[in-house]
Amino acid sequence: MNFVCHVGTADGRVDRVVRSAPSEAALRNELEREGLELIGLERGIGRVARPAGLSLGPRRVPLPEVMVFSQELSALLRAGLPLLQAVGMLRERQRQPLFKSILDQVFDRVKNGAELSDAFLEYGAAFPPLFASAIKAGERTGDLEQVLGRVVRYLRLVLDARRKVFTALIYPAVLFFLSLGMLAVMALFVVPRFRLFYAAMDLPQLPLLTRITLGVTTTLRANIVWIAIVVALAVAALVRWSRTERGELVFGRLRLALPVLGGIFHRFAISEYCRSLSTLLAGGLPLVQSLEIATRAVGNPWIRARIQPSIARVREGQSLAAALEETHEMPQIALDMVEVGETTGALDQMLSNVSMFLDEEVETRMQRLLQLIEPLLLVVVGGLVATLLISVYLPIFSALSKIQ
Protein backbone atom coordinates (compact mmCIF):
# COMPACT_ATOMS: atom_id res chain seq x y z
CA MET A 1 0.00 0.00 0.00
CA ASN A 2 1.19 3.52 -0.79
CA PHE A 3 1.11 6.35 1.79
CA VAL A 4 1.63 10.08 1.41
CA CYS A 5 3.54 11.06 4.56
CA HIS A 6 4.26 14.43 6.15
CA VAL A 7 7.49 13.92 8.08
CA GLY A 8 9.68 16.10 10.25
CA THR A 9 13.42 16.00 9.60
CA ALA A 10 16.31 16.49 12.00
CA ASP A 11 16.94 20.05 10.77
CA GLY A 12 13.33 21.10 11.53
CA ARG A 13 11.84 20.89 8.01
CA VAL A 14 8.51 19.23 7.21
CA ASP A 15 8.65 17.21 3.97
CA ARG A 16 5.95 15.48 1.96
CA VAL A 17 7.08 12.03 0.78
CA VAL A 18 5.37 8.99 -0.74
CA ARG A 19 6.26 5.59 0.69
CA SER A 20 5.15 2.00 0.08
CA ALA A 21 4.65 -0.30 3.07
CA PRO A 22 2.53 -3.37 3.89
CA SER A 23 0.93 -1.59 6.86
CA GLU A 24 0.93 1.66 8.80
CA ALA A 25 2.95 0.08 11.63
CA ALA A 26 5.65 -1.08 9.21
CA LEU A 27 5.75 2.41 7.72
CA ARG A 28 6.22 4.03 11.13
CA ASN A 29 9.06 1.62 11.98
CA GLU A 30 10.79 2.35 8.67
CA LEU A 31 10.57 6.13 9.18
CA GLU A 32 11.85 5.85 12.77
CA ARG A 33 14.88 3.87 11.56
CA GLU A 34 15.63 6.74 9.16
CA GLY A 35 15.37 9.32 11.93
CA LEU A 36 12.15 10.89 10.60
CA GLU A 37 9.11 11.85 12.67
CA LEU A 38 5.72 11.02 11.16
CA ILE A 39 3.39 14.03 11.48
CA GLY A 40 0.53 12.90 9.24
CA LEU A 41 -0.28 10.45 6.46
CA GLU A 42 -2.89 9.64 3.84
CA ARG A 43 -3.76 6.11 2.73
CA GLY A 44 -4.48 4.64 -0.68
CA ILE A 45 -2.44 7.07 -2.76
CA GLY A 46 -0.68 5.84 -5.84
CA ARG A 47 -3.34 5.25 -8.43
CA VAL A 48 -2.58 6.55 -11.87
CA ALA A 49 -4.23 9.84 -12.59
CA ARG A 50 -5.81 9.48 -16.03
CA PRO A 51 -5.51 12.45 -18.32
CA ALA A 52 -8.66 13.82 -19.84
CA GLY A 53 -9.89 11.85 -22.80
CA LEU A 54 -7.79 8.82 -21.92
CA SER A 55 -10.19 6.83 -19.81
CA LEU A 56 -9.80 3.91 -22.21
CA GLY A 57 -6.01 4.25 -22.44
CA PRO A 58 -3.43 1.92 -20.93
CA ARG A 59 -3.11 1.70 -17.19
CA ARG A 60 0.65 1.30 -17.45
CA VAL A 61 3.29 3.19 -19.32
CA PRO A 62 4.82 0.79 -21.89
CA LEU A 63 8.16 -0.62 -20.74
CA PRO A 64 10.04 0.53 -23.87
CA GLU A 65 8.96 4.12 -23.12
CA VAL A 66 10.21 3.82 -19.52
CA MET A 67 13.51 2.39 -20.74
CA VAL A 68 14.07 5.15 -23.30
CA PHE A 69 13.18 7.83 -20.73
CA SER A 70 15.63 6.38 -18.18
CA GLN A 71 18.38 6.12 -20.79
CA GLU A 72 17.93 9.68 -22.00
CA LEU A 73 17.63 11.11 -18.48
CA SER A 74 20.84 9.31 -17.47
CA ALA A 75 22.64 10.73 -20.53
CA LEU A 76 21.43 14.28 -19.86
CA LEU A 77 22.47 14.14 -16.20
CA ARG A 78 25.85 12.72 -17.16
CA ALA A 79 26.27 15.65 -19.57
CA GLY A 80 25.85 18.06 -16.65
CA LEU A 81 22.27 19.30 -17.13
CA PRO A 82 20.31 20.14 -13.96
CA LEU A 83 17.62 17.58 -13.10
CA LEU A 84 14.67 19.97 -13.62
CA GLN A 85 15.92 21.04 -17.06
CA ALA A 86 16.52 17.42 -18.10
CA VAL A 87 13.01 16.34 -17.04
CA GLY A 88 11.55 19.37 -18.82
CA MET A 89 13.32 18.48 -22.07
CA LEU A 90 12.13 14.89 -21.95
CA ARG A 91 8.62 16.03 -21.09
CA GLU A 92 8.48 18.15 -24.25
CA ARG A 93 9.73 15.26 -26.40
CA GLN A 94 7.39 12.63 -24.98
CA ARG A 95 4.65 11.44 -27.36
CA GLN A 96 3.01 8.61 -25.39
CA PRO A 97 -0.19 10.26 -24.02
CA LEU A 98 -0.29 8.70 -20.55
CA PHE A 99 3.43 9.16 -19.96
CA LYS A 100 3.24 12.74 -21.27
CA SER A 101 0.48 13.58 -18.77
CA ILE A 102 2.41 12.04 -15.88
CA LEU A 103 5.65 13.84 -16.83
CA ASP A 104 3.80 17.17 -16.90
CA GLN A 105 2.72 16.64 -13.30
CA VAL A 106 6.10 15.21 -12.25
CA PHE A 107 7.82 18.29 -13.69
CA ASP A 108 5.52 20.61 -11.69
CA ARG A 109 6.21 18.70 -8.46
CA VAL A 110 9.97 18.71 -8.95
CA LYS A 111 9.79 22.43 -9.81
CA ASN A 112 8.00 23.01 -6.47
CA GLY A 113 10.77 21.26 -4.54
CA ALA A 114 9.70 17.58 -4.46
CA GLU A 115 12.20 14.83 -5.11
CA LEU A 116 11.93 13.08 -8.48
CA SER A 117 11.39 9.68 -6.83
CA ASP A 118 8.51 10.97 -4.69
CA ALA A 119 6.88 12.57 -7.74
CA PHE A 120 7.05 9.28 -9.69
CA LEU A 121 5.96 7.21 -6.68
CA GLU A 122 2.58 8.96 -6.70
CA TYR A 123 2.00 7.25 -10.06
CA GLY A 124 3.54 3.96 -9.02
CA ALA A 125 0.82 1.84 -10.65
CA ALA A 126 1.89 3.10 -14.08
CA PHE A 127 5.54 2.02 -13.78
CA PRO A 128 7.54 -1.10 -12.88
CA PRO A 129 7.63 -1.52 -9.07
CA LEU A 130 11.36 -0.80 -8.81
CA PHE A 131 11.41 2.33 -10.99
CA ALA A 132 10.67 5.03 -8.39
CA SER A 133 12.53 3.14 -5.66
CA ALA A 134 15.67 2.86 -7.78
CA ILE A 135 15.51 6.61 -8.42
CA LYS A 136 15.17 7.14 -4.66
CA ALA A 137 18.32 5.07 -4.12
CA GLY A 138 20.18 7.15 -6.70
CA GLU A 139 19.08 10.37 -5.00
CA ARG A 140 20.28 9.12 -1.61
CA THR A 141 23.68 8.02 -2.91
CA GLY A 142 24.13 11.04 -5.22
CA ASP A 143 24.69 8.69 -8.17
CA LEU A 144 21.38 9.01 -9.99
CA GLU A 145 22.76 8.65 -13.52
CA GLN A 146 24.49 5.35 -12.63
CA VAL A 147 21.33 3.98 -11.01
CA LEU A 148 19.29 4.97 -14.07
CA GLY A 149 21.83 3.07 -16.17
CA ARG A 150 21.15 -0.04 -14.08
CA VAL A 151 17.39 0.48 -14.53
CA VAL A 152 17.94 0.64 -18.30
CA ARG A 153 19.90 -2.63 -18.25
CA TYR A 154 17.20 -4.25 -16.11
CA LEU A 155 14.38 -3.17 -18.43
CA ARG A 156 16.37 -4.23 -21.51
CA LEU A 157 16.82 -7.71 -20.04
CA VAL A 158 13.12 -7.95 -19.13
CA LEU A 159 12.04 -6.88 -22.61
CA ASP A 160 14.54 -9.24 -24.22
CA ALA A 161 13.27 -12.18 -22.16
CA ARG A 162 9.64 -11.39 -23.04
CA ARG A 163 10.54 -10.98 -26.71
CA LYS A 164 12.21 -14.39 -26.82
CA VAL A 165 9.20 -16.09 -25.25
CA PHE A 166 6.77 -14.27 -27.55
CA THR A 167 8.82 -15.03 -30.67
CA ALA A 168 9.11 -18.69 -29.74
CA LEU A 169 5.34 -19.02 -29.36
CA ILE A 170 4.35 -17.29 -32.62
CA TYR A 171 4.68 -20.30 -34.93
CA PRO A 172 2.84 -22.82 -32.69
CA ALA A 173 0.07 -20.26 -32.10
CA VAL A 174 -0.39 -19.56 -35.83
CA LEU A 175 -0.36 -23.30 -36.59
CA PHE A 176 -2.91 -23.97 -33.85
CA PHE A 177 -5.40 -21.28 -34.94
CA LEU A 178 -5.11 -22.17 -38.64
CA SER A 179 -5.78 -25.81 -37.78
CA LEU A 180 -8.70 -24.80 -35.58
CA GLY A 181 -10.15 -22.70 -38.41
CA MET A 182 -9.81 -25.56 -40.89
CA LEU A 183 -11.54 -27.98 -38.51
CA ALA A 184 -14.34 -25.46 -37.89
CA VAL A 185 -14.98 -25.04 -41.64
CA MET A 186 -15.08 -28.80 -42.16
CA ALA A 187 -17.31 -29.44 -39.15
CA LEU A 188 -19.78 -26.60 -39.76
CA PHE A 189 -20.04 -26.48 -43.56
CA VAL A 190 -18.58 -29.58 -45.22
CA VAL A 191 -19.66 -32.52 -43.04
CA PRO A 192 -23.36 -31.54 -42.57
CA ARG A 193 -23.85 -31.53 -46.39
CA PHE A 194 -23.15 -35.25 -46.47
CA ARG A 195 -26.48 -35.87 -44.66
CA LEU A 196 -28.38 -35.18 -47.93
CA PHE A 197 -26.00 -37.43 -49.81
CA TYR A 198 -26.57 -40.28 -47.35
CA ALA A 199 -30.35 -39.87 -47.60
CA ALA A 200 -30.15 -40.35 -51.37
CA MET A 201 -28.13 -43.55 -50.88
CA ASP A 202 -31.06 -45.12 -48.98
CA LEU A 203 -28.84 -46.85 -46.42
CA PRO A 204 -30.62 -48.82 -43.65
CA GLN A 205 -28.35 -47.42 -40.93
CA LEU A 206 -25.27 -45.24 -40.88
CA PRO A 207 -22.12 -46.42 -39.04
CA LEU A 208 -21.83 -45.32 -35.40
CA LEU A 209 -18.83 -43.02 -36.05
CA THR A 210 -20.73 -41.28 -38.86
CA ARG A 211 -23.84 -40.81 -36.70
CA ILE A 212 -21.77 -39.29 -33.90
CA THR A 213 -19.94 -36.92 -36.29
CA LEU A 214 -23.16 -35.81 -37.99
CA GLY A 215 -24.94 -35.32 -34.66
CA VAL A 216 -22.14 -33.15 -33.22
CA THR A 217 -21.64 -31.03 -36.36
CA THR A 218 -25.38 -30.55 -36.95
CA THR A 219 -25.90 -29.46 -33.34
CA LEU A 220 -22.99 -27.03 -33.55
CA ARG A 221 -24.26 -25.52 -36.79
CA ALA A 222 -27.82 -25.13 -35.51
CA ASN A 223 -26.78 -23.49 -32.24
CA ILE A 224 -23.60 -21.67 -33.23
CA VAL A 225 -24.96 -18.24 -32.22
CA TRP A 226 -26.05 -19.36 -28.75
CA ILE A 227 -22.82 -21.29 -28.24
CA ALA A 228 -20.79 -18.20 -29.21
CA ILE A 229 -22.80 -16.03 -26.77
CA VAL A 230 -22.37 -18.50 -23.90
CA VAL A 231 -18.64 -18.86 -24.58
CA ALA A 232 -18.19 -15.06 -24.76
CA LEU A 233 -20.06 -14.53 -21.46
CA ALA A 234 -18.11 -17.34 -19.78
CA VAL A 235 -14.79 -15.91 -20.97
CA ALA A 236 -15.76 -12.38 -19.83
CA ALA A 237 -16.79 -13.68 -16.38
CA LEU A 238 -13.58 -15.71 -16.11
CA VAL A 239 -11.42 -12.72 -17.07
CA ARG A 240 -13.24 -10.54 -14.54
CA TRP A 241 -12.79 -13.10 -11.77
CA SER A 242 -9.13 -13.62 -12.71
CA ARG A 243 -8.49 -9.96 -11.85
CA THR A 244 -9.66 -10.43 -8.26
CA GLU A 245 -7.12 -11.28 -5.58
CA ARG A 246 -8.43 -14.84 -5.27
CA GLY A 247 -8.59 -15.29 -9.03
CA GLU A 248 -5.01 -14.10 -9.52
CA LEU A 249 -3.76 -16.61 -6.96
CA VAL A 250 -5.72 -19.48 -8.52
CA PHE A 251 -4.56 -18.69 -12.05
CA GLY A 252 -1.00 -18.18 -10.85
CA ARG A 253 -1.08 -21.63 -9.23
CA LEU A 254 -2.66 -23.21 -12.32
CA ARG A 255 0.06 -21.81 -14.57
CA LEU A 256 2.70 -23.43 -12.38
CA ALA A 257 0.82 -26.77 -12.43
CA LEU A 258 0.87 -27.03 -16.25
CA PRO A 259 3.00 -29.91 -17.58
CA VAL A 260 6.37 -28.68 -18.88
CA LEU A 261 5.15 -25.07 -19.11
CA GLY A 262 4.81 -24.85 -15.32
CA GLY A 263 8.56 -25.20 -14.84
CA ILE A 264 9.21 -22.50 -17.43
CA PHE A 265 6.76 -20.08 -15.75
CA HIS A 266 8.33 -20.81 -12.35
CA ARG A 267 11.88 -20.11 -13.48
CA PHE A 268 10.80 -16.98 -15.33
CA ALA A 269 9.17 -15.60 -12.15
CA ILE A 270 12.22 -16.39 -10.00
CA SER A 271 14.46 -14.77 -12.62
CA GLU A 272 12.30 -11.61 -12.44
CA TYR A 273 12.66 -11.57 -8.66
CA CYS A 274 16.45 -12.04 -8.66
CA ARG A 275 16.99 -9.45 -11.41
CA SER A 276 14.87 -6.84 -9.61
CA LEU A 277 16.58 -7.49 -6.27
CA SER A 278 20.03 -7.29 -7.87
CA THR A 279 19.22 -3.94 -9.51
CA LEU A 280 17.89 -2.43 -6.27
CA LEU A 281 20.80 -3.63 -4.13
CA ALA A 282 23.33 -2.40 -6.69
CA GLY A 283 21.60 0.99 -6.54
CA GLY A 284 22.23 1.27 -2.80
CA LEU A 285 18.81 0.43 -1.35
CA PRO A 286 18.72 -1.43 2.00
CA LEU A 287 18.07 -5.18 1.79
CA VAL A 288 14.63 -5.22 3.44
CA GLN A 289 13.30 -2.38 1.32
CA SER A 290 14.75 -4.02 -1.79
CA LEU A 291 13.04 -7.30 -0.89
CA GLU A 292 9.67 -5.55 -0.53
CA ILE A 293 9.96 -3.93 -3.95
CA ALA A 294 11.41 -6.99 -5.71
CA THR A 295 8.61 -9.16 -4.32
CA ARG A 296 6.00 -6.82 -5.78
CA ALA A 297 7.80 -7.04 -9.14
CA VAL A 298 7.19 -10.81 -9.40
CA GLY A 299 4.61 -11.39 -12.12
CA ASN A 300 3.13 -14.63 -10.75
CA PRO A 301 0.79 -13.87 -7.79
CA TRP A 302 1.19 -17.35 -6.28
CA ILE A 303 5.00 -17.13 -6.13
CA ARG A 304 4.72 -13.53 -4.91
CA ALA A 305 2.56 -14.71 -2.00
CA ARG A 306 4.95 -17.56 -1.22
CA ILE A 307 8.03 -15.29 -1.17
CA GLN A 308 6.36 -12.53 0.88
CA PRO A 309 7.04 -14.14 4.34
CA SER A 310 10.79 -14.11 3.65
CA ILE A 311 10.79 -10.31 4.11
CA ALA A 312 9.73 -10.60 7.75
CA ARG A 313 12.31 -13.34 8.38
CA VAL A 314 15.13 -11.18 6.98
CA ARG A 315 13.88 -8.20 9.01
CA GLU A 316 14.12 -10.38 12.14
CA GLY A 317 17.77 -11.17 11.40
CA GLN A 318 17.63 -14.37 9.35
CA SER A 319 19.94 -14.66 6.35
CA LEU A 320 18.38 -14.17 2.92
CA ALA A 321 19.39 -17.65 1.76
CA ALA A 322 17.76 -19.29 4.79
CA ALA A 323 14.63 -17.15 4.49
CA LEU A 324 14.22 -17.99 0.79
CA GLU A 325 14.86 -21.68 1.44
CA GLU A 326 11.81 -21.79 3.73
CA THR A 327 9.60 -20.59 0.86
CA HIS A 328 10.39 -23.80 -1.10
CA GLU A 329 10.22 -21.77 -4.33
CA MET A 330 13.90 -21.13 -5.07
CA PRO A 331 16.01 -23.63 -7.05
CA GLN A 332 18.89 -25.06 -5.04
CA ILE A 333 21.53 -23.48 -7.27
CA ALA A 334 19.94 -20.07 -6.64
CA LEU A 335 20.03 -20.62 -2.88
CA ASP A 336 23.70 -21.68 -3.05
CA MET A 337 24.66 -18.59 -5.06
CA VAL A 338 22.70 -16.27 -2.73
CA GLU A 339 24.51 -17.78 0.25
CA VAL A 340 27.88 -17.23 -1.45
CA GLY A 341 26.87 -13.66 -2.27
CA GLU A 342 25.95 -12.93 1.35
CA THR A 343 29.23 -14.42 2.55
CA THR A 344 31.43 -12.52 0.08
CA GLY A 345 29.47 -9.24 0.13
CA ALA A 346 28.65 -9.53 -3.58
CA LEU A 347 24.96 -10.36 -3.25
CA ASP A 348 23.85 -8.09 -6.09
CA GLN A 349 26.31 -9.69 -8.53
CA MET A 350 25.34 -13.22 -7.48
CA LEU A 351 21.63 -12.43 -7.90
CA SER A 352 22.38 -11.08 -11.37
CA ASN A 353 24.18 -14.33 -12.18
CA VAL A 354 21.20 -16.33 -10.93
CA SER A 355 18.80 -14.39 -13.17
CA MET A 356 21.06 -14.89 -16.22
CA PHE A 357 21.36 -18.60 -15.47
CA LEU A 358 17.59 -18.97 -15.13
CA ASP A 359 17.00 -16.97 -18.33
CA GLU A 360 19.25 -19.37 -20.23
CA GLU A 361 17.43 -22.34 -18.71
CA VAL A 362 14.05 -20.85 -19.69
CA GLU A 363 15.25 -20.35 -23.26
CA THR A 364 16.59 -23.92 -23.45
CA ARG A 365 13.35 -25.37 -22.10
CA MET A 366 11.31 -23.27 -24.51
CA GLN A 367 13.29 -24.62 -27.46
CA ARG A 368 12.79 -28.20 -26.26
CA LEU A 369 9.08 -27.56 -25.76
CA LEU A 370 8.71 -26.16 -29.27
CA GLN A 371 10.50 -29.17 -30.72
CA LEU A 372 7.88 -31.31 -28.96
CA ILE A 373 4.80 -29.15 -29.59
CA GLU A 374 5.12 -28.73 -33.36
CA PRO A 375 5.05 -32.43 -34.32
CA LEU A 376 2.54 -33.18 -31.55
CA LEU A 377 0.19 -30.49 -32.85
CA LEU A 378 0.50 -31.81 -36.39
CA VAL A 379 -0.28 -35.34 -35.21
CA VAL A 380 -3.34 -34.22 -33.20
CA VAL A 381 -4.73 -32.06 -36.00
CA GLY A 382 -4.00 -34.74 -38.57
CA GLY A 383 -5.78 -37.29 -36.40
CA LEU A 384 -8.87 -35.10 -36.09
CA VAL A 385 -8.99 -34.43 -39.83
CA ALA A 386 -8.53 -38.13 -40.57
CA THR A 387 -11.35 -39.00 -38.14
CA LEU A 388 -13.70 -36.54 -39.87
CA LEU A 389 -12.83 -37.87 -43.31
CA ILE A 390 -13.19 -41.51 -42.29
CA SER A 391 -16.55 -40.81 -40.62
CA VAL A 392 -18.01 -39.18 -43.76
CA TYR A 393 -16.63 -41.72 -46.21
CA LEU A 394 -17.35 -44.82 -44.10
CA PRO A 395 -20.98 -45.18 -45.34
CA ILE A 396 -19.74 -44.99 -48.94
CA PHE A 397 -17.22 -47.76 -48.30
CA SER A 398 -19.95 -49.86 -46.63
CA ALA A 399 -22.30 -49.38 -49.58
CA LEU A 400 -19.58 -50.31 -52.09
CA SER A 401 -18.70 -53.47 -50.15
CA LYS A 402 -22.36 -54.60 -50.20
CA ILE A 403 -22.59 -53.98 -53.98
CA GLN A 404 -19.52 -56.11 -54.55
What residue type is assigned to position 291 of the chain?
A: L
41/190 same-domain check: no
* Cα–Cα distance measured from residue 15 to residue 251, given in angstroms and rounded to the nearest whole number: 41
Contact between 110 and 135 under an 8 Å Cβ cutoff? The reply is: no
Give the pTM.
Answer: 0.65
Is 332 inside a domain boundary? Answer: yes
Task: Show the domain range for 17.
Answer: 1-45
State the pLDDT at residue 404.
55
Contact between 208 and 390 under an 8 Å Cβ cutoff? The reply is: no
Is 137 inside a domain boundary? Answer: no
Helix (H) or strand (E) holding 308: none
Is 388 inside a domain boundary? Answer: yes
322/194 same-domain check: yes
| CATH number of the domain to which 205 belongs | 1.20.81.30
Under 8 Å CB-to-CB from 43, ≥6 apart: which residues? 1, 3, 24
Is 72 inside a domain boundary? Answer: no
Is 243 inside a domain boundary? Answer: yes
166/304 same-domain check: yes
180/322 same-domain check: yes
Query: DSSP string covering 70-124, please?
Result: HHHHHHHHHTT--HHHHHHHHHHH---HHHHHHHHHHHHHHHTT--HHHHHHTTG
- Total of domains in the chain: 2
Which three-class secondary structure state does DSSP give residue 14? Answer: strand
Q: Mind listing the pLDDT tens digit of every residue in the chain (404 residues)?
A: 566 666 666 665 656 666 766 667 777 777 777 777 766 665 544 444 444 333 334 468 888 898 899 889 888 888 888 888 998 999 888 888 888 888 988 888 888 888 888 888 778 778 887 787 778 777 877 778 888 888 888 888 888 877 877 777 787 788 778 878 887 887 777 777 777 777 777 667 777 888 888 888 888 888 888 988 999 999 999 989 888 888 888 888 998 888 878 888 898 889 888 888 888 888 778 888 888 888 887 888 899 889 989 999 998 888 999 999 998 888 888 899 999 998 888 898 899 898 888 888 888 888 788 778 778 888 888 888 888 888 888 877 776 666 65
* Cα–Cα distance measured from residue 309 to residue 291, given in angstroms and rounded to the nearest whole number: 10
Is 291 inside a domain boundary? Answer: yes
State the pLDDT at residue 235.
92
Which three-class secondary structure state does DSSP give residue 50? Answer: coil
State the pLDDT at residue 46.
43
Is 193 inside a domain boundary? Answer: yes
Is 80 inside a domain boundary? Answer: no
169/34 same-domain check: no
388/252 same-domain check: yes
Which three-class secondary structure state does DSSP give residue 43? Answer: strand
The widest CA-to-CA distance across the chain, in whole angstroms, is: 107
